Amino acid sequence: MSINSEIRPFLEVEQSVTGQRWQERLDLHSANTALAISQRYEMPDIVARVIAGRGIDVDAAKNFLQPSIRDLMPDPSILTAMDDAAHRVADALEKKQKIAIFGDYDVDGATSSAVLYRFLKHNGNIAQIYIPDRIFEGYGPNPAAIRELAAGGIKLIVAVDCGSTSFEAFEEAQKLGVDVVVFDHHQVNENLPPVAALVNPNRQDDLSALGHLCAAGVVYMGVVAINRELRKRSWYSGDRAEPDLLQWLDLVATGTICDVVPLKGLNRAFVRRGLAIFRKQSNPGLTALAHVSRMNGPAAAYHLGFLIGPRINAGGRIGDAALGARLLSSDDPSEAREISEQLDMLNTERQRLEVAMLAEADAEAQSEIGEGEGPAVLVTESPNWHPGVVGLLASRLKDRYRRPAFAIAFDGNGKGAGSGRSISGVDLGEVVRVAVDLGILEKGGGHAMAAGITVRREKLGALRSFFEERLVAGVSEMRQLSVLKIDGALSARGADENLVDMLEKAGPYGAGHAQPVFAFPAHTVRYADTVGANHVRFTIGSVDGAQLQGISFRSADQPLGQALLNNRGKTMHFAGTLDVNYWQGQKRIQLRLLDIAELSKQI
C-alpha cells in the first residue's frame, strides 16, 4: 500500500476534477512543529502552519521569516574556480581590456548580463553584450560569434547562463587568443571546455551546495568576488568609489523568479531584498516594463513571474533577442520606455502564436494518448511552429496531461529545435544528456525540470523510444502520487485581507516554496463566465451568505473551467491560493483556482 493511500484524503477527495487526491500538508509531526513555532515566536497559527508545512523547524523559523543576504550568502570562493574568475576579470579591468558579455536569450540570461554590465560600467569598462539569435545561432556561444567578437578587439568573453558545454566555440576562442570566463548553472558532466575559469555550482567537482541558484545568482556572487579582488588591489581609491552591490538585487530577484529555481536559502534572501529594491523603481527598464504591463499594487513575486518575465522573454522568443538585456542595462528612461513598448507588442504577438500552436499540439497529444494511459513522455512536433514558443507549449502540455512533455519545431532541412518541461520527481536534464551521449540528440542540456534539445527528424522515433524506456517507471510512479496538498480549510468569509497580509509574512512564494493552498468546503458556484483568453471568472458563496471572487486561468476548455461553467448553482469543494487583486484603485481578495471536487456521499 502506498504512503498516500494510508493517509485519509482531505474532505474525502480521492479524485478531483483534475484527477488529484487531496491531502493535508501537515502530518502529526509538522502540526506539532507548527504549534511550537506559533508559541515561541508569538505568530498567528496559520503562518506557523505554512512554515512548518514547508519543512522549516522551530529553530530555523526566525531566519526563514527574515532572510538576510549577510547571513545566508557564503564566501563566493566556496564555488569552484570563482577565485580564478575574479582574478581574470579584475585583470581585464586593470588592463582596460575590451570585454564581451555573452548571454542567453531568456530572462535569466538578460538579468545576468545586466548585473555584470552594470558592475563593469561602474568600474569604467563599457562591455559589449552579445545575445545570440535563437533561430539562426541557437543556444550558447558559437564559433562564428567568437570570431566576430575577436575581430572587434575583445580580449575577454564572460559567458553568463550558458557556456558550460561550448567546446567548439571556446576552442576557437583559445586559437584566437581570447580568454573566457563562464558563470553558469546548467547541469554538466565531468568534461569541461578550455576556459580560464568555469564557475557553475552544478559542475561535478563543486561542493558549494549552491546548485539551486539561477545564473543571475551565480553572476551576483561573481560580482561580489570580483569586487573583493579589486578592493585587495586598492582599486577603489581617490575618485573611484566602491559600488553598492545591493542595488542590483532587483535584477537577481527577477532572474531567480523567472527561471523557476527553488526559493530556499540564499534565493529567498535575493528575492525578498530584490522586491524591496524593485519597489524603489531605480532600474528604468524594470520600471518601464511595470508600466506597460499595467502592474497594480506593490511588486510581488507574481508580477515578476507573470507580467515582467514574459515580456523580457518575448524578444528572445520571436523578436530581437538582445532587447531584454539592452533594456535592463539602460539608464535612459526614454530608451527604456521605447524598448519596453516593443517587448509588450512582441509579447502580444507571442500570445497569439501560442494559442494557435497550442491547439495543434493539444490535438497531437490527445491522439498520442488515445483511450489509454498514453506515452510516459509526450513528444509533439510540427514544421509550422515558431521555435521561440515551443517551451511554452511544453509547459502547457505538461500541466494538462501531468507528464513530461516536449514540443519541437522542425525547419525545412529536418532539424528540430525543441524544449521540454518535466513533472516533480522526473529529472529531464539528466536523461537529455544521456541521449546526447548516445547520439540520439545532436545537442541538449538543461536541469531537472526543463531542457532544450536539437534533434534530426530521422531520430525522432528513436528519441520517443528512448524516453519511454528510461522514464516510463518514474513517470508512472509520480503520476500515481499526484496529490494536491492542502494547508487548511477556509470559508469565503474567512478569506479576508487580514489573512492574506499574515500569509505574506511567510513569503515570497514560488518554486520550492509553494504558495499556501486552501480548501473551501461545500461552497456554491454563484457566478461563472469566460473572460479574456480562455480564462473563467467566478464567484463562490458559503452557507452564511459570504462570497469570494475567483479566477481560473486558461481553463475554459479544460475540465476545471467546464466544472465551473456547467455547474452554476451547484455546491462543491474548491481549492486554490489567495492573493490580492488591485482593480481601479480597489484592493480585493481573489481565489486562484487549482481544483474542484464533488461532495462525498457522507456530506
Residues (pLDDT < 50) of the chain are 1-5, 602-603
Determine the straight-line distance between the first and last CA of the chain, rounded to whole angstroms.
27
3-state secondary structure of 313: helix
For residues 236 and 222, give the distance between their C-alpha atoms in angstroms, rounded to a whole number: 18
Nearest alpha carbon to residue 455 among 465, 444, 447, 469: 444
DSSP class of residue 513?
B
Distance CA 172, CA 560 (A): 53
- Looking at residue 187, its pLDDT comes to 86
Q: Provide long-range contacts, Cβ within 8 A and 24+ apart, for 63-69.
A: 64/268, 64/506, 65/41, 65/505, 65/506, 67/265, 67/268, 67/269, 67/272, 68/269, 69/246, 69/249, 69/266, 69/269, 69/270, 69/273
Beta carbons of 305 and 285 less than 8 angstroms apart: no
Grid coordinates representing 585 are 484603485
In angstroms, the Cα distances linking 415 to 141, 320, 337 are 19, 22, 37
pLDDT of residue 5: 47
User: Can you say whether the dihedral through the CA atoms of 517, 31, 599, 549 is positive or negative?
Assistant: negative
Residues 6+ apart with CB under 8 A from 333: 284, 287, 288
SS (H, E, C) 145-189: HHHHHHHCCCCEEEEECCCCCCHHHHHHHHHCCCEEEEECCCCCC
DSSP class of 521: E
Taking alpha carbons only, the member of 155, 157, 153 closest to residue 142 is 157
Cβ-contact 417, 398 below 8 angstroms? no
Structural contact between residues 596 and 573, judged by C-beta atoms closer than 8 angstroms: yes
Residue type, 99: I
The H or E element containing residue 535 is: strand 535-541
Contact 589, 578 (CB under 8 A): yes
User: Do 454 and 416 contact (CB within 8 A), yes or no?
Assistant: yes
How would you classify the pairing of strands 518-531 and 571-583?
antiparallel
Q: Is 437 exposed, middle or buried (0-12, 13-18, 19+ CB in 10 A)?
A: exposed
16 DSSP assignment: -
- Strand ranges (E), 29-98: none
> Cα separation of 169 and 162, whole Å?
12
CA–CA distance, 433 with 454 (Å, rounded to integer): 12
422, three cell numbers: 518535466
User: Residue 439: left if φ>0, alpha if ψ -120 to 50, beta else—which one?
Assistant: left
Determine the Cα–Cα distance for residues 486 and 253; give it in Å rounded to an integer. 27
Domains in the chain: ranges and CATH: 3-53+487-597 (2.40.50.460), 71-345 (3.90.1640.30), 370-480 (3.10.310.30)
Alpha-carbon distance 517 to 576, whole Å?
A: 5
pLDDT of residue 584: 66
SS3 152: coil
Pairing of the two strands 415-421 and 197-199: unpaired
